Amino acid sequence: MKKNFVVVVALLSILATMSLASTVNAENWGVSEGETYEWDVTEATEGFQNLYFYNGTSPDPVGLNVTTDDVVKFTIEKLNTSDISGQSCRGTLEIGNITVENIDQSSIAGDLYLGSWYTSFEPGLISSIDWDTVKTNADDNLWNHTESGKSITFTQETESTWEDTTWITSAEITYDKDTGLLSEGKTNVTTDIRIEPLMRSDVSLSTDSIIIVTAISLELVEEDEGTDWMLIGAVAVAIVVVGILIVLLKRR
């Protein structure tokens, strides 16, 4: 009876150790600091050469030039695991002709229209995996969402007017539910500019009506998962513990 009890305790120890090893990140996130992810630009219209990128670290916006077949990279440098907002996941973004440091997912969502700018739905390239809260934020900001297997997709089509400028935006963004990574994203923006919103030295905009249509599509570059050394180490420790217990039992 005593031997059976020891064996049961050993097995429970193995399960607990493996569970701890597989739970590396906080429950709100499926990614960790220091990781780098890449997305292929499967489509980028010429209009994306005339957009600005606001990185939050400079008073002047940066002119963005993204073309089809470019690769977008994002390295996580700071992740506040107790916060699920778009501001809590920050890092360095390499996109098109620019590299932006210390940028958060909210800013990325706004600049690439991967979310509702200046609202509570700003997933960007990497979302929290607290999907109940994310879906609630999406609902509050008039985004639709559907789930299929390990994927969740958010869609929205809106038309808005700001200072006599009409913006028509459509977006479809799909995330992996386990990691929170954007697996596919498609956005399209049509705007009828009747005013000169910004001054640029390389672009001359008149006050006449200008129609700009921009579209971009991103697809996550899948990488081999590689070896989970933490899990292997946990299993090795568990095996050693069980081995010691067996030896002790045999000596009794």
Of residues 189 and 211, more confidence is placed in 189
Q: List Cβ neighbours of 217 (8 Å cut-off, separation of 6 or more).
A: 41, 42, 43, 44, 184, 185, 186, 187
Decide which of 82 and 231 is more confident.
82
Give the mean pLDDT of 100-128.
85
* Dist. CA 175–CA 47, nearest whole Å: 25
Q: Are 119 and 106 in contact (CB under 8 A)?
A: no
Whether 108 shows a pLDDT value over 60: the answer reads yes
Residue 227 confidence (pLDDT) above 60:
no
DSSP 217: E
According to the model, what pLDDT value does residue 240 have?
A: 66
CB contact at 8 A, 148 and 177: no
107 phi and psi, to 5 degrees?
-65, -40
pTM (global) more than 0.75: no
